[in-house]
């Protein structure tokens, strides 16, 4: 048996060896596998570059800072300037009229506060060495509701430069100016105004540039020996405005402007459920025919204007709250709507809880709450009338104004009214 086992073992081993040898032979005879090409990475799909923004050059809010000059730039072209402040969104307007009427009438533009009728601003102020208490200068970047308003103002200023080299202002007056060629869609002009001795004999230097819906004004009192380089300053403002326009196009190409839809509101719902938005107040829409606007608030009492071209007032059912609806200049459509009162010393008492709100901000709330909810606006004080408000506007010229009971920068200032307006419907100054 041991011998038999050994033989079987050797036979098995032999058979196994033969099988392995055969397998190796077959493997050696098999054709070599075809080599596979190395995969080529597919080209990444390229996202096409967005089309450059080609719409109107409409600047808003903090974009006005793009027009500002640095203190070094101001002092380099106006060496007498000193104590140059930082750019600010707080604007003071005088708005108290002027003296004699200039001849020709186009020269009245010298006397107009360019900031009147604007919906936003940024400004810088400084003192003038040797100018005493009257030595003062400023730089303003002024946002108008649309291009038509800003360019209309610039048209008037260019015409003034052309027609007012000499003019009458209760005596001989003059304006020596330069008007550079327009460049990159930007116009500019600059010059020195000399008033007659009977009107104080003052001298002042002013320069302007305009693009899109923005007008830039630089102004400084001027001593007898102080002669700024008008062309250099005009071209400096022109170049800065062109840079601002290029920045705007870049920004709006990357982030095209959009329009948010506002929800429909039931005219029979309580006023406190209505929203004050840039398109109107609840069911009362800017641009609606005035009859439609007045009837949109179901059950409200309508009070006719107290004077020609004045606002209509609507009062809620229980007489505790009211709104003002201001018609357009031709009386046909709703141009603005004010929730509450436009001024702290006028109007009827308001139950603020019954009034609509703007982003949760109601009449009676601190103005600081509105500034936090709607940042990037402009604070305005009108010294002649005592009016104070906070403005924030959209690119399409819709304005939200929070009327205050005192200077907005005061900690205790509260909202007495909230106004929404289509500021493109405003009429602008035109002389000559």
Beta bridge partner(s), residue 303: 313
Q: Is the pLDDT of residue 329 over 80?
A: yes
Q: Cα angle vertex 195, ends 193, 197, to 5°?
A: 150
Identify which has the larger pLDDT, 292 or 429: 292
Most confident range (mean pLDDT) of 178-182, 261-265, 348-352 is 178-182
The predicted structure's pLDDT at residue 15: 33
Q: Are residues 216 and 302 in the same domain?
A: no
The predicted structure's pLDDT at residue 193: 96
Q: Are residues 232 and 285 in the same domain?
A: no
The predicted structure's pLDDT at residue 430: 85
Residue 241 belongs to what domain range? 61-254
Element (H, E) at 139: strand 136-143
Q: Are residues 169 and 66 in the same domain?
A: yes
> Which of 201, 229, 254 is the last residue before a domain boundary?
254
The predicted structure's pLDDT at residue 214: 98
Q: Is the pLDDT of residue 123 over 80?
A: yes
Q: Is the pLDDT of residue 424 over 90?
A: yes
The predicted structure's pLDDT at residue 46: 72
Q: Are residues 219 and 275 in the same domain?
A: no
The predicted structure's pLDDT at residue 206: 97
In a domain, 51, yes or no: no
Q: Are residues 283 and 207 in the same domain?
A: no
Mean of the pLDDT values across residues 178-190? Answer: 96
The predicted structure's pLDDT at residue 261: 82
Q: Are residues 173 and 285 in the same domain?
A: no
8 Å CB contact between 175 and 167: yes
In a domain, 261, yes or no: no
Q: Where are the beta strands (DSSP E) in 181-283?
A: 187-194, 203-211, 214-221, 276-277, 280-281
8 Å CB contact between 91 and 116: no
Q: Are residues 287 and 244 in the same domain?
A: no
The predicted structure's pLDDT at residue 99: 81
Identify which has the larger pLDDT, 302 or 263: 302
> Which of 189, 222, 254 is the last residue before a domain boundary?
254
Query: What does residue 268 show for φ and ψ, rounded to 5 degrees?
Result: -90, -5
Q: Is the pLDDT of residue 290 over 80?
A: yes
The predicted structure's pLDDT at residue 343: 82
The predicted structure's pLDDT at residue 243: 98
- By DSSP bridging, strand 378-382 and strand 90-93 are parallel
Please count the CA atoms within 13 angstroms of the CA of 288 that sit on its side-chain side: 19
Q: Are residues 286 and 418 in the same domain?
A: yes
Q: Are residues 90 and 155 in the same domain?
A: yes
In a domain, 158, yes or no: yes
The predicted structure's pLDDT at residue 260: 81
Q: Is the pLDDT of residue 88 over 50?
A: yes
Beta bridge partner(s), residue 215: 142, 210
Q: Is the pLDDT of residue 32 over 80?
A: no
In a domain, 32, yes or no: no
Q: Could you give the percent of the chain with pLDDT greater than 70?
A: 88
Q: Are residues 324 and 188 in the same domain?
A: no
Beta bridge partner(s), residue 398: 422
Task: Give percent helix, percent strand, percent coil of the chain, each to the nearest 5.
Answer: 30, 30, 45
Q: Is the pLDDT of residue 20 over 50?
A: no
In a domain, 407, yes or no: yes
Q: Are residues 359 and 417 in the same domain?
A: yes
In a domain, 171, yes or no: yes
Question: pLDDT digit string (tens) for 132-173?
Answer: 778 999 999 999 999 999 999 999 999 999 999 999 999 999
> Taking Cα atoms as reference points, which of 230, 218, 73 lies closest to residue 137?
218
In a domain, 185, yes or no: yes
> Which of 254, 288, 308 is the last residue before a domain boundary?
254
Radius of gyration of the chain (CA): 36
Q: Are residues 322 and 233 in the same domain?
A: no
Coil/strand/helix, residue 340: strand
CATH number for the domain that contains residue 238: 3.40.1000.70
Query: What does residue 325 show for φ and ψ, rounded to 5 degrees?
Result: -120, 115
Q: How is 297-354 classified by DSSP, letter by letter?
A: STT-EEE--SSTT--EEEE-TTSS-EEEEEEPTTSSBEEEEEEE-SSTTSS----GGG
In a domain, 53, yes or no: no
The predicted model scores a pTM of: 0.87
Mean of the pLDDT values across residues 103-118? Answer: 93
- For the chain, the domain total comes to 2
């Amino acid at each position: 048996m041991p011998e038999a086992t050994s033989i079987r073992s050797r036979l098995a081993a032999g058979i196994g060896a033969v099988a392995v040898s055969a397998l190796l032979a077959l493997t050696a005879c098999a054709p070599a596998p075809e080599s596979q090409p190395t995969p080529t990475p597919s080209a990444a799909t390229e996202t096409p570059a967005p089309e450059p923004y080609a719409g109107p050059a409409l600047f808003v809010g903090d974009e006005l800072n793009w027009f500002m000059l640095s203190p070094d730039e101001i002092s380099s072209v106006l060496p007498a300037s000193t104590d140059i402040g930082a750019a600010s969104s707080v604007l003071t307007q005088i708005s108290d009229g002027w003296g004699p009427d200039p001849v020709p009438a186009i020269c009245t533009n010298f006397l107009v506060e360019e900031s009147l009728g604007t919906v936003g601003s940024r400004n810088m102020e400084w003192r003038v060495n040797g100018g005493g208490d009257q030595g003062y200068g400023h730089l303003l970047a002024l946002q108008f509701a649309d291009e038509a308003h800003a360019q209309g103002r610039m048209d008037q200023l260019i015409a003034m430069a052309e027609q007012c080299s000499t003019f009458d202002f209760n005596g001989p007056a003059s304006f020596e100016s330069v008007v550079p060629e327009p460049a990159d869609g930007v116009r500019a002009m600059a010059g020195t105004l000399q008033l007659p001795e009977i009107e104080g004999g003052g001298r002042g230097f002013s320069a302007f540039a305009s693009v899109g819906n923005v007008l830039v004004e630089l102004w400084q009192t001027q001593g007898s020996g102080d002669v700024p380089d008008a062309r250099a300053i005009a071209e400096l403002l022109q170049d800065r405005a062109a840079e601002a326009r290029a920045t705007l196009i870049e920004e709006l190409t990357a982030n095209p402007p959009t329009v948010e839809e506002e929800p429909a509101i039931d005219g029979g719902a309580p006023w406190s459920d209505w929203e004050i938005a840039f398109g109107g107040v609840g069911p009362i829409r800017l641009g609606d025919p005035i009859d439609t606007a007045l009837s949109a608030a179901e059950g409200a009492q309508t009070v006719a204007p107290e004077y020609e071209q004045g606002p209509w007032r609507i009062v809620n059912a229980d007489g505790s709250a009211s709104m003002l609806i201001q018609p357009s200049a031709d009386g046909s459509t709703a141009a603005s709507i004010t929730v509450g009162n436009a001024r702290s010393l006028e109007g009827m008492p308001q139950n603020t809880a019954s009034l609509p709100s703007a982003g949760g901000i109601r009449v009676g709330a601190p103005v600081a709450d509105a500034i936090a909810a709607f940042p990037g606006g402009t604070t305005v004080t009108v010294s002649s009338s005592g009016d104070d408000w906070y403005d924030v506007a959209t690119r399409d010229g819709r304005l939200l104004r929070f009327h205050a009971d005192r200077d907005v920068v005061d900690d205790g200032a509260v909202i007495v009214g909230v106004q929404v307006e289509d500021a493109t419907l405003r009429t602008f100054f035109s002389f000559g």
